[in-house]
Chain A
Amino acid sequence: MKKMLSVVLALVMALSVFAMANAEPLTNYVDYQTQANEVEYWCIQHSQGAVDLNVLCNCIDGLLTNNANGELIGCVATDWFTDDGSVWTFKLRDNVKWVDCEGEYMADLTSADFLYGLEFVLNYHKNEAANTSMPIEMIKGAGDYYEYTKALPAEEAMALGIDKLVEMVGIAAPDDYTVVYTLIAPLGYFPTVATYSCLSPISPALLEEIGADGYRNVTFDTLWYNGPYYVSEFVDRSYKILTPNPLYYNPDDKLFESVTVQMVNSGAEAFLLYEAGEIDNVTLTQDNLKAIYDNPEDPFHDYLIEMRPTKYSYQFHLNYHQKDAEGNDYEPWNKAIANENFRLAWYYGIDLTDWLARTNFINPLSCENYTYTAKGVATMSDGRDYTDVVREKLGLDYDYTVYNRFDAEKAAAYVAAAKEELTAAGVELPVKASYWVKAGNQPAWDSAETLKQCIEANLGELVELEINTYVSSLAQEVRNPSLYSFVINGWGADFGDPVNFLGQETYGDDNAYYAQYYSKINEASDEKLIATYEEFTELVNKAKAINDDLDARYNAFADAEVYMIQHALIVPCYNNIEWQLSKINPYSTIYCAYGMMTYRYVNYDTNADGFTTAEIAAYKEAASAK
C-alpha cells in the first residue's frame, strides 16, 4: 500500500513537472572534462581507461549496452541466449555500417568484425598485452592463443588473420550475423562482459587499410565509427565534437545534433563556463556549492541537483605490511593493524559525517557506504540489490540521519581492548598512521585534515594520522615502496558480478589486485590475521564455484563480504555523490554500476534552462519507485 501510494505520488509529481516544463530541450550538448581526462588512446581494444572509453562508447558499438535503469539492452546484438551458461550466442543487426570521420559510408559490419576484434586483443604483438585479462580468464583457448602469438616473430604475428583464432579460441561466426562464444566455465554474467571494450569489433577493411600497428595508434581522423556518433573535430586538451552518425542503425535512439566535450583546468573554471552558458552541466566545487546554497537570491539556488551514485565504491584499504622510508618494516603499524580489536575500533570508532561533508556539503550522509561491493552490480531474483542483502546481514541501514556504523560504546570497548593488547605486545601508542595525498591538490589536503580530525576524535589514544604528499604517482611513490598505512580507493566493476570486487581481496592469489598491491596481505606475517584472511578466501572461493544458481551465488558472496567487513579486513568508506547544475536529467542517462557506458549520449532528457531541484527530486522519486 505504502509503495503504491508513493508510486502514485511520484507519478503525480512527475506529471506536474512535465506540465510545468515547457522549456526547450537542448539540441547541441556541451559536456566537459578536466584536463587530466583527455583521451589518450583512440583504439578501443587497446584502452582500459575511462578517459578513452567515455568518448569511445559513443563511437564504437559492441554487442550490448545498458539503459537508464542499468539493465542490459541490445546494441549491435538484438538477441542473446545460452543453454548451459558456457556457450553464448549473440544475434546481430544486419544494418550496422562503419563510417569515417566525415560520416561517409566505409563498410558493413558483420560477425567477422568481432572475431577480428578479439584477435587484435589477444595478439601479443598487435595489442601489446593490453585488455587481455578478462578474455583470457573467461574464453576458452584465449590464453593459449595469446601465448602462441607471443612466441611468433613480430612480423609473422602482425600478419595473422582470424583463421588461427577460430581454430584455437572459443569464438565462432556461424553466419554473417551470429557470434558464438564458448567459455572455460559457465558464467551467468557473461553478457555484462559483452558491454566492455575487450569484445569490441574492428572492421577488417580498416585493418587492411592502416595495418594493425596503425590501428593501435589510430587517431580520430583515421578511425571508423559504427556507434551513434563519430568524432568530427578534435583539438587535444581543448575540445572534441561528436556528430551523429548519419548511418546509425537504431532510429529509435534520440541523439543530439552535436555533442562537444570541452576540456577545462579545474572545477572552478567549469563553473565559470556554466555560468557563461558555455557548458551544459557542472559538478560543483565546495565553495561554489556553499555560496549558491547559502544565498537564496543566487540565480542557481533552485537548480542544485544531487548526482546519482557512480559505479565506484570507496574503501579504506589497510596496509598489513607497511615500511618506512628506509625500506624496513614499520612494526608499530603492522602490529596494530594485525590486531583485530584495533581494526574493529577503526570500524566502529570513526564518525565520517564531517569528512563526507567535504564531498557533499548539503547531504553528507548520502555518501555513506557500508558495503564493499558497489550498489547495482548484481540483483537477486526477487529484485533486491546484492548490497541490500549484505547490509541486512550486517544489520546496517541507510537512514540518512546519522552515520549508522559509528558506535561510541563499542568503539570505546575495542579501543580499551586494543590498547591493553598492544601495550602488552610492546607497541608504543598512539601509533603513527600515514596517509598520502597528491601535492598541490588543496581540496584533497583539506579533506585529509578533516579525516584526521574524524579519526582522532575517538581513536586518539590509538592512532595519530600523519598526512604526507606525493608528487605524481601514488603507485610509484607510495604504493610500491609500501609507505602508507591505508589508502582510500574506489573500485568500479567492468562487468556485473560481485567477484569483481571480492575477487580482488583473496589471500594467496597474485591476481587478487587489492590484496596483492594495496593490502599487501601476502607479505604479512601475523598468523591470526592470515587465518582470518584464509577463512574469508575460502568463503569467496565457495561462492565463485556456484555457477548454476545466481541467488545462491550472491548469497554466498554476501556471506563472504559480511565476514570480511565484520573482521574489518577492509573497511567500507564512502560513495562519491556530489552536487551539480545540469541541463541534463540524470535519471535519463545511462546508469550502470559496471562497464563503460555512462557517457553514451543517447536518449537524454534535457531542459535548456537547467533542471530545478524540485524536478529532479520528482524524477528521483519516480526512479526509486520503479
Chain B
Amino acid sequence: MLRYCIKRLLQSLITVLLIVSIVFLLMRLLPTDYYFREDELMKFTDEQKNERLEAEGLLDPPLVQLGNFYRNMIQFQVTKGKSVVRAYALDQYIGMKLKGEEIPVAKGQKTQWAFNLGVSRRVSAGQPVQKVIAEKVGMSMKIGLTSLAISLVIGVVLGVMQARRKDGILDRVGIGYTVFVNAVPHLVSYSLLLILGNKVFGLPAIYKARDPVNSLILPVVCLALGSTAGYMLWMRRYMVDELNKDYIRLAKLKGMSTTAVMFRHVLKNAFVPLAQYLPYSIVFTVGGSLLVESFFSIPGMGPMLSTAIPRYDLNLVQAIVMFYAILGVLGVFLGDLLMCLIDPRISLVRKGESR
C-alpha cells in the first residue's frame, strides 16, 4: 500500500511538472510587449523596455528561463526586515557550500529557506505569487464548502426521497429541477436567481465587503444549485438501481422494512463511490468558481486565472496552473485512498497487475 502511494505520488509529480513546463513555454511564445501595461508602452522607449526586460531576465531563451524557474523554486534568502536582499538557488547554495564559501550576511540581516515561485508582475505587482493566491483561497473555500455541505445534505436527502416515491409528485418536481439546472446555461439560471433574490428578498446583487454574510447568500445558492441537482440525480439513480438488486430483494424477503433497507444497505453502499469524489470536491472548493465569483464580483480564486492571463502575469499564471494541477491530482488520489479505506472489497494494489 505504501509502495503504491509513493509510486502514485511520484507519477503525479511528473504530471504536474510536465504541465507546468508546457504552460511555461506556451506563455513564453507571447511577444514581450505583453509584459507592459498600455500606459507604460506609451511612455517607454524601446530601449527602456529592453532594459527593463533584461533586468528581469525575460530576454533569456525560454528553456533557460524554465531552468531558472525550477532552480529558484527553493531559495536560500538573505533578508532584511521584510525584504529579500539576496537569494541563492539551491544548486548555487550547495555549490558554495562545497567550495567552502561563506554566504555573506551583513549585520541586521537574517537568512531563511523559502519556497519561491516568483513575484506577480501585474496583478499585485511585487508580491510573491503564493501570497497572492493565499489571499484569495479563503474566500473561495468559504463559499465552496458551505455550498458543498448544503448541496450534499439536500441532494442526498431529496434523492433518497425521490427514489422512495418513484414517479410521485416530489420525484417529478425533482426531475424537472435537475433537467432545468443541467440543461439551462448557468448564466441564465444565475440571472433568474439574481432577479428573484434582489427584487423579492432584497439581497445584495453583488459582493459587499461590509456585508459579507448577506451578500454571500446568493452566490452560495447559485453554487449549490448545480451540485444539488448532481447529487439528487445520482442518489436517486443509485437507489433505484440498487433497489432492484438481489441482495436488497433478499433483505426484503427476509422481512426487513424498506426504511431499514434504505439506510442499512443502500445508503451505506452509496457512500462508497461518493467517497471517491468527495475529497476531489472538497479540495476543489479551494479553486473557486469562475462564473459565480465573477458574476457576483467575489474576490476569490475563480476569476484569478482569467485576470492573470490577459495581463500576462506569467509567474501568477504558472503558479495557478500548478496549484490547479496539484489539486486535481491530489483530489483523485485522496478519493481513491478514502474509498479503499471505507470499502474493504476494494484494493488499489493487487489489481494493478491483473490486466
Contact = CB atoms under 8 A, between A and B. Distances in A.
Interface stretch (B171-179, B200-208, B249-257): B200-208
B33 A236 contact: no
B126 interface: yes
A238 B34 contact: no
Contacts of A216: 126
Contacts of A474: 38
Contact of A128 (B52, B85, B124, B209): B52
Across chains A and B, which 9 residue pairs bring their CB atoms closest together, nearest first?
Answer: A214-B83, A217-B126, A238-B299, A210-B83, A40-B125, A129-B48, A476-B33, A475-B41, A272-B205
Contacts of A471: 310
Contacts of B82: 210, 214, 222
A133 B43 contact: yes
B127 interface: yes
Interface stretch (A84-92, A262-270, A286-294, A565-573): A262-270
Nearest to B132: A236
A41 B51 contact: no
B43 A48 contact: yes
Nearest to B32: A476
Interface in A238-279: 238-239, 260, 262-265, 269, 272-273, 276, 278
A64 B310 CA distance: 36
Contacts of A83: none
A263 B45 CA distance: 31
A419 B39 CA distance: 38
B248 to A, nearest CB: 51
A265 B297 contact: yes
Given A265-B294, A513-B42, A213 B299 contact: no
Contacts of B45: 133, 510-511
Contact of A132 (B48, B83, B84, B207): B48
Contacts, number: 123
A236 B51 contact: no
Interface string B94-125: 00000000000000000000000001001111
Given A211-B81, A264-B206, A473-B33, 9 more contacts: A40-B124, A48-B40, A128-B55, A129-B44, A129-B48, A237-B307, A260-B209, A262-B209, A273-B208
A129 B297 contact: no
Interface of A: 35, 38, 40-43, 48-50, 124-125, 128-130, 132-133, 150, 209-211, 213-219, 222, 235-239, 260, 262-265, 269, 272-273, 276, 278, 471-476, 480, 510-511, 513
B31 interface: yes
B28 interface: no
Contacts of A269: 205-206, 297
Nearest to B206: A269
A129 B36 CA distance: 13
A49 B37 contact: yes
A13 to B, nearest CB: 37
B84 A40 contact: no
A445 B82 CA distance: 47
13 contacts: A40-B125, A43-B126, A49-B39, A50-B39, A129-B55, A217-B126, A238-B207, A238-B209, A238-B299, A265-B206, A276-B204, A474-B38, A513-B43
Given A236-B123, A475-B33, A513-B42, A213 B84 contact: yes
B135 interface: yes
Nearest to B207: A238
B310 to A, nearest CB: 5
B164 interface: no
Q: Which of A132, A473, A474 has the most CB of B within 10 A?
A: A473
B52 A129 contact: yes
A132 B40 CA distance: 12
Nearest to A237: B299
Nearest to A472: B310
A215 B297 CA distance: 31
Contacts of B122: 40
A265 B293 CA distance: 11
B80 interface: yes
Contacts of A211: 80-81, 83, 85
Q: Which of A43, A50, A211, A474 has the most CB of B within 10 A?
A: A211
A150 B51 CA distance: 10
Contacts of A41: 125-126
A132 B44 CA distance: 9
Contact of A473 (B38, B84, B127): B38
B37 A40 contact: yes
Contacts of B205: 269, 272, 276
Nearest to A516: B45
B297 A264 contact: yes
A222 B126 CA distance: 12
A237 B297 CA distance: 9
A265 B298 CA distance: 10
Nearest to B82: A222
Interface in B182-213: 204-210
A235 B135 CA distance: 8
B48 to A, nearest CB: 4
A237 B300 CA distance: 9
Contacts of B294: 265
B24 to A, nearest CB: 19
Contact of A475 (B38, B80, B307): B38
B213 to A, nearest CB: 15
A507 to B, nearest CB: 18
Given A473-B34, A476-B34, A235 B209 contact: yes
A130 B48 CA distance: 8
Contacts of B37: 40, 49
Nearest to A132: B48
Contacts of A239: 209
Contacts of A473: 33-34, 38
A445 B207 CA distance: 29
Nearest to A240: B209
Interface in B233-279: none
A274 to B, nearest CB: 12
Contacts of A218: 126
Contacts of A510: 45
Given A210-B83, A236-B123, A472-B310, A272 B206 contact: yes
A215 B84 CA distance: 11
A219 B126 contact: yes
B81 A214 contact: yes
B81 A210 contact: yes
B125 A476 contact: no
B223 to A, nearest CB: 18
A242 to B, nearest CB: 14
Contacts of A264: 206, 297
Given A40-B125, A128-B52, A235 B206 contact: no
Contacts of A125: 55
Contacts of B299: 235-238
Nearest to B49: A129
A357 to B, nearest CB: 26
Nearest to A215: B83
A210 B127 CA distance: 14
Interface in B10-58: 31, 33-34, 37-45, 48, 51-52, 55-56
A495 B307 CA distance: 33
A260 B126 CA distance: 23
Contacts of A236: 123-124, 132, 135, 299
B140 to A, nearest CB: 13
Interface in B64-103: 80-85
Contacts of B51: 124, 128-129, 150
Nearest to A206: B81
Nearest to A518: B42
Contacts of B80: 209-211, 214
B21 to A, nearest CB: 24
A467 to B, nearest CB: 20
Q: Which of B127, B207, B297 has the most CB of A within 10 A?
A: B297
B271 to A, nearest CB: 38
Contacts of A511: 45
